[in-house]
Amino acid sequence: MIVRKETRVLVQGITGKQGTFWTEKMIGCGTQVIGGVNPKHAGTEHVGVPVFASARAAMEAAPFDLALMFIPPAAAKDAALDAIEAGAKTLVVLTEHIPLQDVLTMHAAAKAHGARIVGPNTAGIVTPGEGFAGIMPGHNPNIFQPGRVGVISRSGSLGTLVCLNLTRAGLGQSAFIGIGGDPVIGTSTREALEALDLDAGTDAVVIVGEIGGTMEEEAAEYARGMKKPVVAFIAGRSAPSGRTMGHAGAIVTGHRGTYNSKRSALEAAGVAVTDLPRDIAEAVASRL
């Protein structure tokens, strides 16, 4: 789930407005984009790379590791299955509002084929100095700079703000992992935390969480045994119970998934939890 210079990326939906814009940005900062998919434009070139009729056709002509999906909700399941069955190791699913049954089918197929899904409703993944896949501004040096702080975020906008503050503080990032804000996602906060804990280029980790679900509590269980310092911010402290706030997954039911339960679990595990995003960089610097 950490993109590298050698990661070969296929862009599904490459010829659309967003697919075109972000593919150009990815290529411009070193991402190895091997091609794209659009059945109507198969056999042509777009932004300097070949366009294929399917992920299977792309895999035969130009093998890839990661499939990045600029695909509308109704077509997301078929695109994901195409990439998974073609042999993609990772799918970065930007799409939101995918029908739940389709999401479950995608996850089942990924598990059966040994693939990892990041998302749905993710902003993507970034490794400054190596490349990115998604709609995070990985091409912007004011926001992303090579460093040794890993960032995990359910929110793309909050993740961007945190990375901006880390860069301004002279810390930079080893990797950014946007896990997505839907209720059912393929990569959890804990799984992303485990990956960054094992990453030799990461010295500290920032978790940008939010109310809803129990991912932060589960991540706290793992953080308890980490030697690397972990700093967290949880959005939604003032959100009313029972109301979805922002992401579809940011809804509190009963006493589970509340701001207080998440903060208490993280602090009990030795994680420093800040009141505001602007305090994260200082908290990280003081623990490195």
Q: What SS3 state is found at 230?
A: strand
Active site residue 247: yes
The predicted structure's pLDDT at residue 236: 85
Examine the fold and report which residue of 118, 152, 177 is the final residue of a domain before the chain moves on. Answer: 118
Q: What is the pTM of this model?
A: 0.94
- Regarding whether 60 and 151 lie in a shared domain, the answer is no
Tell me the residue range of the domain where 23 lies. Answer: 8-118
pLDDT of residue 237: 83
In a domain, 79, yes or no: yes
The count of structural domains within the chain is: 2
Question: Is residue 132 in some structural domain?
Answer: no
Contact 41, 148 (CB under 8 A): no
pLDDT mean over 166-176: 98
Residue 275 has pLDDT above 60, yes or no: yes
Q: Determine the pLDDT at residue 218.
A: 96
Residue 225 has pLDDT above 60, yes or no: yes
Same domain assignment for residues 165 and 216: yes
pLDDT value, residue 249: 55
pLDDT at 245 over 60: no
Residues 91 and 18 in one domain: yes
Same domain, 151 and 93: no
Mean pLDDT of the chain: 95
